[in-house]
Amino acid sequence: MKILIIAEKPDMGRNIAAAIDPKAKNHRTYLEGEKYIITWAIGHLIELAEPEAYDPKYKKWNINDLPIIPDSFKLVPNRKTIDQLKIIGQLAKRSNLLINACDAGREGQHIFSLIQRHLKLSHPVKRLWISDLTPETIRKGFAEMKDAAAYENLTRAAKARSEADWLIGMNGSRAFTTKHNVLLSVGRVQTPVLALIYDRQKQIEAFSSVTFFQVEGHFSQGERTYKGLWQGDRLTDPSKAEMLARKVKGKQGRIASYEVKDTKEYPFKLYDLTLLQREANGKYGFSAKKTLDLAQALYEKHKVISYPRTNSNYVTEQNIPEMHNTLSSLQGTGYDDLVKGANRSLVHKGNKFICNPAKVDDHHAILPTNRKASGLTPDEQKLYDLIVRRFLSQFYPPAEYKMHTVITDVESEMFKTSVKERKSLGWKIIYADQQKEKPKNVKGAAKEEEDKEEIEVNEPFIILPDASVVCSDAVVKEKETQPPKHYTEGTLLKAMESAGKQIEDEELRDAMKESGLGTPATRAATIERLKKVGYVEMQGKKVQLTLKGRTVIELIRGAGIELLTSPEMTGHWERRLNEISRGTASDGQFMENVKKFATMIVEKVRVQSRAEKTLFESESTTQKGSSKTRGRAGGRSTGRSGGRTATTKASTRTAAKTATTTSSIIAKCPRPGCGGSIFMGRKGYGCSNYNVGCKFVIWKENYGRMLTDTQIKALIEKGKTGKMKLERQDGTQFQAKLILKSVESGELTFE
């Protein structure tokens, strides 16, 4: 009898074989040596059964048959990979010991557990738990394997997560779909994430810009010149701003106060997966899924980074020698000069900014391995470069600055100047070559730099506090308050990580990690799911809510199921799953609460009024066919996405006209004799009677301005808006009111 090793994917299996049994013979679906047989799962081979497996009546979607709450969940093989499952079953009969070598995390544990349960394998099991696929780490992992019983709580948490997602997704999706006769997908994680996007969109639409004025003083003291901003209440009257500028221009002043403070900026933390995804999105525009796929390739295929699906920014004491070895291995590569400048003594077990075992759960931060990178694609190289530079920065001292704060008094008017004088680059030398790259939007970047109150300089900044100054000029700058920004995938990941709380403080962000939306491994799949079901679409880097996405949140909240859209509540659930994995909470109690919640969802939807339908729907949600045809429900809740609980391909092929609530009606159509209603579509506000000839539409963007629901309502009901900042085709800006020029077409003009 032999020992059967079950890895999660073929590449992982081959890497393990190369490390512990290099002479193993390749049989395509497994490798066999004298002692070991190594095979793989190819992801999820087993799934939770669809409702019709419990009762044939569930083949037809009927709200009166809900909720569906199985006494025990049935398992079924994935038809696409059933041959590999049979191979595992056959190989197990030739083995007397199993080694679980699936990914070291909750989902890897779940994949193995499903195979074990479905095939009724009763073998003793050992667990291989490794963070990278270098031969040294694999061999060390085999020497330190534990009995499977040590991971039983993690298995319980994984099972609870899967079954909870099935219950919420299956019952929620069927309830809303059958009630409103439109294919709607809800899930434990995806719905709160959609609610984040919805709430941000409403904030943007409700935002009313305010014009204000800054007075900038230009000062000289001998040869030294500097600028300062007037300190006082916000100026909204341009005449007052101009009067203030005239008051100080050409006048002599004095230094009211001058403070100089030494500061240090330490290297940024090592990457966890979410932080890596955020920065790759910001710098290269990579989607969260693309970053995860690239990182997985760097880990599995190239073996040049450690396990990427981690939620930790720290390492353990055991990783410190590995980091030093990796630094040595980077000698002679493109990073050779940076390696030569590294200070090895900065990376040690006592450095809590790097080494903090208490903040490492399953996996340490993402690190490069000691294997030299070769054969990387351009995008793989970009991601690898991010990881290597972040790693190298830990071996460099902090950047040092002198912070100068000057208050200049001219005619009893105070102007503040903040100057950041660089003394030593420190770790920022790692990124010095990248600073020379020109931003893609040079004009926008220049304006952003100009608007900064703090100025960074390389040369010494010297002001004599007792010497007089002259205000050589005073300039009035017109500014405008800005609305909240649309989410990008990067900023959405950050919001998911902190359960919707916009936390800038890194320590607080760490504290919220256990109660975020989903896990590092599932967040990318959740975003992709929202795209797939037509709830969001990408406009450049922006995550844009569709009409269908807006409608589903309004329906859920309208039914009184606010809890289903709550990021904080879902964050609490994720925290409870983590507690189950540590043995400090009961999976049975968790599932009882989930069953009660699923029942409550159905009861609330059952008494909800059917939503009014509109034919003015966004292109991305328009589908062909009849919504009376229902497919399999709920999706594959055993998948990696924490909120992957919507509908399967059979369901998404059915037609669905977008439902809408009365709160989506902006106004009655102003076209004489029409009688239709105005709704917001993807690009504009149009009439529900457009299919019978009404051509009224107001485009969202007019004269360089994105119009809000309130402004559209004012145009339709009052014929005009209030005064606002607009933009001509040549880019020049002006103040004017928008006027509804034609009630037949919706054409606008201004006055």
Count of beta carbons in the 10 Å neighbourhood of residue 648? 14
Reported as type and span, the H/E element at residue 475 is strand 469-480
Q: Which residue is it, tokens 């055993």?
A: 638
Beta strands per DSSP E along 242-352:
252-265
Structure tokens at 239: 């005449």
Instruction: Find the angle CA(379)-CA(382)-CA(383) to the nearest 5 degrees.
Output: 90
Question: Which parts of 290-412 are beta strand (E)?
Answer: 399-410
**In contact, 381 and 240? CB cutoff 8 Å:** no
Whether 307 is catalytic: yes
How far is 680 from 683, CA to CA, in rounded Å? 8
Give Cα 449 to chain centroid, integer Å. Answer: 26
| Range list of β-strands (E), 266-343 | none
**Other Cβ atoms closer than 10 A to 417:** 22
- Angle, to 10 degrees, between the axis of helix 10-20 and the axis of helix 135-143? 80
d(CA 128, CA 305): 18
Q: How many CA atoms lie within 13 A of 423 on its CB side?
A: 13
Measured distance CA(104)–CA(132) in Å, rounded? 10
Q: Which residue has the tokens 């391995």?
A: 369
217: part of which helix (H) or strand (E)?
strand 211-221
Name the token pair of 258.
């001058």
Query: How far is 214 from 229, CA to CA, in rounded Å?
Result: 7
Name residues whose C-beta falls within 8 Å of residue 58's C-beta, 6 or more positions apart in sequence: 50, 51, 52, 65, 68, 633
DSSP 679-720: EE-SSEEEETTGGGT---EEESEETTEEPPHHHHHHHHHHSE
User: Which of these, 288, 358, 728, lies nearest to 520 by C-alpha position?
Assistant: 288
Q: What does the radius of gyration of the chain's CA atoms come to, in whole angstroms?
A: 30
Task: State the burial class of residue 33 (Cβ atoms within 10 Å of its Cβ: 0-12, 13-18, 19+).
Answer: middle
Residues found in the chain: 751
Q: Is the dihedral of CA 515, 517, 518, 521 positive or negative?
A: negative
Query: Is the bond preceding residue 67 a cis peptide, omega within 30 degrees?
Result: yes
CA 448 vs CA 95, 418, 443, 455: distances in Å: 65, 16, 9, 12
Closest to 579 in 3D by CA, of 106, 153, 163, 272: 153
State the catalytic residue, choosing from 30, 151, 198, 307.
307
Helix ranges restricted to H, 331-441:
336-340, 378-393, 432-435
Q: Is 614 helix (H, G, I), strand (E, B) or coil?
A: coil
ω into residue 378 within 30 of 0, thus cis?
A: no
Cα–Cα distance measured from residue 610 to residue 329, given in angstroms and rounded to the nearest whole number: 65
Question: What are the two backbone dihedrals, phi and then psi, of residue 212, each rounded to the nearest 5 degrees?
Answer: -140, 175
Question: Tokens standing for 303?
Answer: 């073996």
DSSP 164: H
- Residue 163: name the closest of 591, 514, 643, 588 by CA: 591
Torsion sign over Cα 383, 385, 388, 389: negative
Residue with tokens 């074989």: 17
Residues annotated as part of the active site: 307
